[in-house]
Structure 1
Amino acid sequence: MAMTMHVDIVSAEGEIFSGQAELVVAPGQEGEVGIAARHAPFLSPLKPGEVRVKSEGQEPLSFYVSGGMLEVQPYLVTILSETAVRAKDIDEAAAQEAKRAAEEALADRSGRMEYAKAQAQLAEAVAQLRTLENYRKGRA
């Protein structure tokens, strides 16, 4: 039996996942972070992207997070995010529309939306679509 740790993924709307896992992969600001039980404690900001949770004997789970914070303790991983959604629940049409709107705003620099805000919205939409694509490919 592999060593496990407790994982909590929490959004502003509530708890998205709580359970035991062998491995968690999260989108850290400096790149993907892989965490197994007994990992050294640390805190890290997260960028928008996919969180993968692997539990013994189960299919890996995939989640989209809009950024947030990752807290790691030897037997506990906590992910706090403004938005967190199971990959299977991502609204592809809404993500495509958000991507299109952000790209338009970036192209129209005199537009109503701030450039930095449009960049952030584009990054989130692309991350949602990439998470959904990975989920469909079974890469979770």
Structure 2
Amino acid sequence: MATLKLEIVTPDRKVLSEDVDYVGAPGIMGEFGILPNHVPFLSALGIGNLHYNQDGKAYYVFVSGGFAEVSNNKVTILAEVADKATEIDTERAKLAKERAEERAAAAKEKIDHIRNQAALKRSIMRINCKSCGQDAGTC
């Protein structure tokens, strides 16, 4: 069976380099999926959970911003932030979620609502990614 080479990199590190069967990623216009022999493709990434299948098992990586490029059976993810589900600190993500919710609820506090909404979404997606990574049957 044909496979894809999946590489996920951030400005700080190489997160992943694996041969996989399928990649699903959060594009800014919605989720997209990539199988072997996909046509060349370029997309901006949104905030969400990238998932890939390898040997019949699903794996998850939280990504935030960046780009995905598909060419010659290779998927390159250049993300601003990327964390494997196994690397996510759930408690830290829950605290970030609580802080964002508190800022949004404090009407008299002058906050950047767009930035706060992005922080809230990132924390929620990290929590979801962690739970998916532990039990793929729940996602």
TM-score surpassing 0.5?
Answer: yes
1:71 to 69, 77, 89: 69
Counterpart of 1:9 in structure 2: which amino acid?
A: I
Residue of structure 2 in register with 1:104 after alignment: 102
1:25 matched to 2:30: no
The structural deviation recorded for 1:124 is: 0.5
Write out per-residue CA displacement over residues 52-111 of structure 1, whole angstroms, 9 at most, x where no aligned residue: 1212x3633211112221111131101111111110110001100111111111122432
Counterpart of 2:79 in structure 1: which amino acid?
A: S
Counterpart of 1:96 in structure 2: which amino acid?
A: K
Residue of structure 2 in register with 1:35 after alignment: 34
1:4 matched to 2:3: yes
The structural deviation recorded for 1:136 is: 2.2
Residue of structure 1 in register with 2:79 after alignment: 81
CA RMSD of aligned residues (A): 1.6
Runs of 4+ in structure 1 over 4 Å off: none
SS across alignment from 1:83? strand
Alpha-carbon distance between aligned partners in 1 of 2:77 and 2:124, rounded to the nearest angstrom: 20
Alpha-carbon distance between aligned partners in 2 of 1:67 and 1:124, rounded to the nearest angstrom: 10
TM-score, normalization by structure 1:
0.90
Verify the 8 A CA contact 1:109 1:115 in the aligned structure 2: no
Gaps of at least 5 residues in structure 1 are: none
Verify the 8 A CA contact 1:46 1:68 in the aligned structure 2: yes
Counterpart of 1:105 in structure 2: which amino acid?
A: R
Alpha-carbon distance between aligned partners in 2 of 1:108 and 1:44, rounded to the nearest angstrom: 36
Alpha-carbon distance between aligned partners in 2 of 1:58 and 1:17, rounded to the nearest angstrom: 18
Gaps of at least 5 residues in structure 2 are: none
Alpha-carbon distance between aligned partners in 1 of 2:81 and 2:31, rounded to the nearest angstrom: 19
Residue of structure 1 in register with 2:129 after alignment: 131
Identity of aligned residues (%): 32
Alpha-carbon distance between aligned partners in 2 of 1:136 and 1:6, rounded to the nearest angstrom: 24
